[in-house]
Structure 1
Amino acid sequence: MRGLWLIDGSYVYKAGKSFQADNPTYEKRGIDYKKLKDCICKEFEIDNLDSWYFNSTPDPATDAQNAYHRWLKTTEPKGPNIRVKLYDLKEKKIRCRNCGTEFSIKVQKGVDVGIATTALRLFQRYDVIVLSAGDGDFEDFIRYIVEDHDKKLYIVGFDNSISPDLQQFSSANYLLNEHYNEICDTRDSKPFDSADEVVGD
């Protein structure tokens, strides 16, 4: 069975940070996508899992981010062999409700569209879709793939961070908080806090 795995890197990062904040006994490490890919294949009996990682990076990206993204792309057995699609950050103006001061922050641009476009472009080649994202905005393209084309959806994410709008189409969920010790990144590398943090919208 062939699967297409679509990863919203910012979602996994933020949901992981929230999980770690609520569970301080867990080591503050990121997700080892090589371990996670192996676990997904075993859990859902997928023989071949083509994987895509989407995120935004500042320009220029940090050395830690560049190293992390290179590792994601690295062919097995050294790396998880994931295709990485990175987008620029855009500037968003915010006005303080209390004092009226206006300031700018950097937010993601294009990640959600990239995930949806890749899914719609490629899904017919696969038996199942695996989604690591929690945003209910994905409902329309997921509904189209599941209902109109009879594809199975599996969601991989943290409990309490996956929209019910997505869960209604999922055949099963693989909850990262329940498998954290199996899939956390124990490599001798940069801490999770500095490896792949971006500002998201």
Structure 2
Amino acid sequence: MKRLWLIDASYIHAINLQLFGPNRRVDYLKLRHLIEQRFGDIWRGYYLNSVQNEAHEARDRFHGWLQSAAPIGPNLMVKLYGLKNERVRNAYCVDCGAKVDLQCPHGGGDHNLINQRQMGVDVGLATLALVHKERYDTLVLSSGDGDLVDAVDHLAESGKEIELAVFSAGVSTDLQARSDRVLWIDDHMDEVVG
């Protein structure tokens, strides 16, 4: 049985930070070993992320390591997308629903504020899952994004098995309901932290 593993790196990073802080990080080689122990061999894996365009030596080394074959690295194909800059003037308070005006404490209303958002990763995940559809039997998804439900539904209706390797927080219940098996990463943190 061939497995395709697709990773939304910002999902793994954000939930990892939320649950365990900046000093404990998921080691993708160890995570691959855990997935293969629990589910079976991975035919191909992809790591998708959005990054700033500026060169960054440590990040480039990390991406090189991700592509390294075992036993050195997790043997993942790396696909990187840009970040989208969006100008922000206000935000909404989740607790009270009030609209709040934003301004820089150093320049007041004269400074332009932006928010950087991931762009292209969800489309990339869905595209890879569909492009390789005839080459694998099972999709292993490390993403919590409910935006992938339509692609997952299509794959499941086409006879593909769906496995999730995710954290128990931050994963869409729509994805959980469509999965054949779930590996909760936070139940195995001692095995996958680098």
What is the TM-score normalised by the length of structure 1? 0.84
Following TM superposition, by how much is the alpha carbon of 1:151 offset from its aligned partner in structure 2, in angstroms?
A: 0.8
2-structure distance, mates of 1:47, 1:155: 14
Following TM superposition, by how much is the alpha carbon of 1:100 offset from its aligned partner in structure 2, in angstroms?
A: 5.6
Q: Is 2:58 the partner of 1:64?
A: yes
Aligned to 1:42: 37
Instruction: Confirm or deny: 8 A CA contact 1:41 1:49 kept in the other structure.
Output: no
Following TM superposition, by how much is the alpha carbon of 1:103 offset from its aligned partner in structure 2, in angstroms?
A: 1.6
Q: Deviations over 1:59-89 (max 9, x none)?
A: 1142221111110011111111100000111
2-structure distance, mates of 1:99, 1:183: 41
Percent identity of equivalent pairs: 37
Aligned to 1:95: 89
Q: Deviations over 1:153-191 (max 9, x none)?
A: 000111021101111110111111100010011xxxxxx
Q: Which runs of 5+ in 1 are unaligned?
A: 22-26, 186-201
1-structure distance, mates of 2:42, 2:14: 28
SS in 2 for 1:150: coil
Q: Is 2:126 the partner of 1:116?
A: yes
Q: Which runs of 5+ in 2 are unaligned?
A: 91-98, 104-111
Aligned to 1:28: 23
Q: Deviations over 1:115-163 (max 9, x none)?
A: 111111002211110000001110000000002x111100011102110
Q: Deviations over 1:38-73 (max 9, x none)?
A: 1111101x2343100000111114222111111001
Please provide the CA RMSD for this pair: 1.5
Q: How many residues align?
A: 178
SS in 2 for 1:168: helix
Question: Bigger radius of gyration, 1 or 2?
Answer: 2
What is the TM-score normalised by the length of structure 2? 0.87
2-structure distance, mates of 1:40, 1:175: 10
SS in 1 for 2:101: coil
